[in-house]
Chain A
């Protein structure tokens, strides 16, 4: 990371009231967040939540309508070579030129990126057993993903953005791909931002969590801290949200009891000593699902009390 140590102390990524409008519809709005250098951050949200919009503004493929986003202190600007060179990007469908050989792809990478590391690129595909002379269209899906990752790593960019990198891969290729991502994260102290809508696997990969839905950031921060600050409370059904310690995020009512995901500090949780109440730690998946199932208005306001419109006995977020 030679050309970037100027601002190595600041966050790898900072978005400040970032927004993007498509016609009358906001794809993303009021997005303020930071990802520290060295983190492996998960960007989670359903399809249409604004994930790709955010990623494309970070890497400089899309101009913000309002606010700004910076990578290691430098503002991302659409269609500038500097911004594009600063971030390694692995797109969802691993777009490579199908008739190119792997060597051709590397040649292209070298031509477009001043910091290109040919040695790293060739060593990686050699280790993976991918011949340089093979054409892209003859590679398996897993190998194409690996070539895409290699292209991103060889840019020697300090931030790597991966958009749904494994969604098209089979379980083994998926694991091998993520194994390489984890090893390179350890090796070069790179910062990763990985978008996904598969929540279950993310806990082991990520230490930073960003939950996006309805074009708004619902939750962002260090994963462990967020897990510590949430509890799954089981309380008698009649208990209103206002009596709960902290803020109710998502509530599931049964006949006699309710299960509520609450966000609260340790003190608030310690003083709640009601008999018959049970407080359990939340799993990563429960936390994410709780926020994703929140109605869109709840991003800025408190969850309205008893959710009569969600009468089901339980939902995926609260039953394990």
Chain B
């Protein structure tokens, strides 16, 4: 059975952490179509979190078409994620490495790189806000 975990210090709301874990596990192949997710009560007791948080996460997964509830049986994975193709992943990684080298040559340390990425990501998000 799939087990969730919770990172208390990440700042990501707990329900989103659960959603991310399912998405990520689908991408990595740890979860497959037809797999049953643990019951709301089991997750609530396992992680010691509010059961409504689990309900919210499962609803979000249903909304995204990744999971579906079967009455009396539980929540099941209904989608096969389309994992990023190895080629695409390799390309992205190569360009990222080139960028990181350039950043290093420019004198940015790890922290500066992380900060820069955060700022750029925030700008991208801002563009998307209507």
Q: Which residues of A contact B (CB under 8 A)?
A: 38-40, 175, 178-180, 182-183, 185-187, 203-207, 224, 227, 270, 273, 278, 281, 283, 320
Q: A207-B50, A207-B53 are in contact. List 7 more A-B contacts (CB 8 A).
A: A175-B48, A182-B48, A182-B49, A204-B6, A206-B50, A207-B52, A270-B130
Docked Cα-Cα span, A204 to B130, in Å, equals 31
Return chain B residues, CB-CB under 8 Å to A178.
Answer: 48
Q: Which residue among B6, B14, B47 has the maximum number of chain A CB atoms within 10 Å of its CB?
A: B14
The answer to whether A185 touches B51 (Cβ under 8 A) is yes
Whether A40 lies near B50 (C-beta < 8 A) is yes
Number of B interface residues in the complex (CB < 8 A): 23
Chain B residues with CB under 8 A of A224:
13, 15, 56
Q: Which residue of B lies closest to A281 (CB)?
A: B11
B41 proximal to A (CB < 8 A): yes
- 7 A-B residue contacts at CB 8 Å? A175-B48, A182-B44, A185-B52, A186-B44, A204-B50, A207-B52, A281-B11
Partner of A183, one of B6, B15, B41, B122: B41
B58 → A minimal CB distance (Å): 12
Question: In the bound complex, what is the Cα–Cα distance between A182 and B52 (angstroms)?
Answer: 10
Give which listed residue, B6, B50, B126, contacts A185 with CB less than 8 A.
Answer: B50
The CA of A183 and the CA of B46, in the complex, are separated in Å by 9
- A residues near B86, Cβ cutoff 8 Å: none
Q: Which of B43-67 contact A (CB under 8 A)?
A: 44-45, 47-54, 56
B129 close to chain A: CB less than 8 A:
yes
With most chain B CB atoms within 10 A of its CB, the pick from A204, A281, A320 is: A204
Q: Given A39, A180, A204, A273, which contacts B49 in the complex, CB threshold below 8 Å?
A: A204
B40 within 8 A of A: yes
Q: Given the complex, which residues of A lie within 8 Å of B45, measured CB to CB?
A: 179-180, 182-183, 186
Among A175, A182, A273, A278, point to the contact of B50 (Cβ < 8 A).
A182
Q: Residue among B8, B45, B122, B130 with the most chain A CB within 10 A? A: B45
Closest 6 CB pairs of A and B: A186-B51, A186-B41, A183-B45, A182-B44, A204-B49, A207-B52
